[in-house]
Each structure stands twice: as structure tokens, then as C-alpha cells.
Amino acid sequence: MPGPLFHYIARLVVSLAVFAMAPALAGAGQPAADAVEAPAVSAVRAFLLDRAGGLGDSVAVEVRAPSAQLPPCVAPEVFMPGRGQKPWGRVSVGVRCGEQARRVRYMQARVTVTGRYWVSAGELPVGTPIRAGMLRAEQGDLSRLPANAVLQRDRILGQEATRPLRAGTVIQSHQLRRPALVERRQAVTLVAGGEGFRISREGHALDDGALGGRVRVRLSNREVVVARVTGPGRARVMF
């Protein structure tokens, strides 16, 4: 007959087997976190891919599922909380769950948009009108660019640099200004008109003004009016 040592070893083997099976048994009645979050993760990924679509040559979305054990998200409805969130980089996304969309959870994601942006091909002095040959296209992750980077070349061409720009500088909106068509103390042709009439007078600008900008104009009788720049040395009175 087996001795006491044999019985002790047998009990030890059984205890170890039960211990090893405990995690599986504990989770048998509860779905895994990945299975619980799969619908929400898929919905968030699709939402962000659609939102960032067309912004670059390629878009990649990485969604981080919540670490806490949560009930399944039924009929997920994705929304972007707050205002002013950019469509790339690290973003926070809200998900309404349930048929009545009563439960809301928030998920974190990173959106990588790879596309083309523009840098100065050489040094650009202040006031330099920017032409096509002064720019160079580069490719990269747009989320890593400065916040005010200008991605459309047409929005850069014809503008002037407001500060000296070194070669390779990413062009940003605050570094640009429209060239002045009216300069301070310049003689200006002032036009006023309406239905069936048109009046033209001469005056002198008190401000610099780009196309569409507002300037003050002093007339020969010392009267000052506000006008909108319509062309080089020309402005229209604003009523």
C-alpha cells in the first residue's frame, strides 16, 4: 500500500493543478477585455480614419482600449468631445454605449497622418514676396509640425515674410502677411457708389492696407473716412 509520502505528493499535485486553473475558471463567466472593447475600438478607428481622410497621403490610427473591466459596448456611437481638437496626433474620443446611448466612456488614440508640407528652400528676408521657387516640399508626420503650419502651397504664394526665415523653416501662418496695396501717406483714389451713381475722390491713406483690408483715408477737406482696399492705390468707401 502507498505510504504517507505518496499521499502527500498526490495532494500537492492536485492543489497545484487547481491553482493553475483558477484564473481560467474565474474568467470563464466574464468576457475578455479585448472582446468587450472590440466593437468600440473598431468604431473609434473607423471614425478617426474618416475624420482624417484626405489630409495626407496615408493615415494610421492606434486606439488604446480602457484597461478597466467594462461591460460590452452595445451600438457604439463615437463623438469628438470639446472643440478645436486637431484630427491628428494624440486625441481623446467619446463613445456612447447602449441602445439609449446612456453610458459614455472615453478612449485615447493616436492618429498619424503622413503627407506633404512646405519649407523655405533658402533664406527669406522680411517683406520678400514668396514665389514657387522659394519653397521646397517635404514629407513627414503632419502631427509633429508646428501648430500653425500652412499645408497648402497656394496659401503661401504671393504672401510676404513678416520675419527673416532660415532655409528649411516650416512655413507658418503667423510668419506671413499679404502685401500692402496701399501704404501710409500714399495718394489713394476713393470710390463711393450705389444704385445708379458713382463718386470718385482723392485722398491720402493713414494706414497700410492689403487687398480687402480696412484703411483710413483723409480727404482734402480734412474729413477722415474708412475704406476697403480694392487694388493698388484704390479703395471703396464702406457704408
Domain extent listing, the chain: 33-112, 114-177, 180-237
Domain 114-177 falls in which CATH fold? Answer: Type Iii Antifreeze Protein Isoform Hplc 12 (3.90.1210)
Amino acid at 193: G
Give the list of residues 6+ apart from residue 209 with CB closer than 8 angstroms, or none: 180, 181, 182, 215, 229, 235
Q: How far is CA 183 from CA 163, 205, 210, 214, in A?
A: 19, 7, 9, 12
CB 229 within 8 A of CB 212: yes
For the 180-237 domain, the top CATH level (class) is mainly beta
Q: How high is the pLDDT of residue 137?
A: 93
The rounded distance, in Å, linking the Cα atoms of 135 and 6 is 84
Torsion sign (Cα): 198, 200, 204, 205? positive
Residue 102: which of 65, 77, 134, 66 has the closest Cα?
77
Contact at 8 Å (CB) between 47 and 81? no
Given a contact cutoff of 8 angstroms between Cβ atoms, the answer to whether 119 and 166 are in contact is no
- Return d(Cα 237, Cα 228) in angstroms, integer: 6
What does the alpha-carbon distance between residue 49 and residue 218 come to, in Å, rounded to a whole number? Answer: 55
**Cα(117)–Cα(94) distance, integer angstroms:** 30
Residue 35 CA to residue 43 CA, distance in Å, equals: 14
For every residue of 109-123, DSSP letters joined together read: EEEEEEEEEEEESS-
Q: How many CB atoms lie within 10 A of CB 91?
A: 22
pLDDT tens digit at each of 239 positions of the chain? 555 544 444 454 444 443 444 444 344 444 444 444 578 888 989 999 888 877 778 888 888 876 667 777 888 888 988 777 777 888 888 888 876 657 888 888 899 888 899 999 999 999 888 999 999 999 998 888 888 889 889 999 989 999 999 999 999 999 998 888 888 998 999 888 777 778 888 999 999 888 888 999 999 899 999 999 988 889 998 66
How far is the CA of 199 from the CAs of 113, 172, 206, 214, 217, in angstroms?
53, 41, 21, 19, 15
- Predicted TM-score (pTM) above 0.85: no
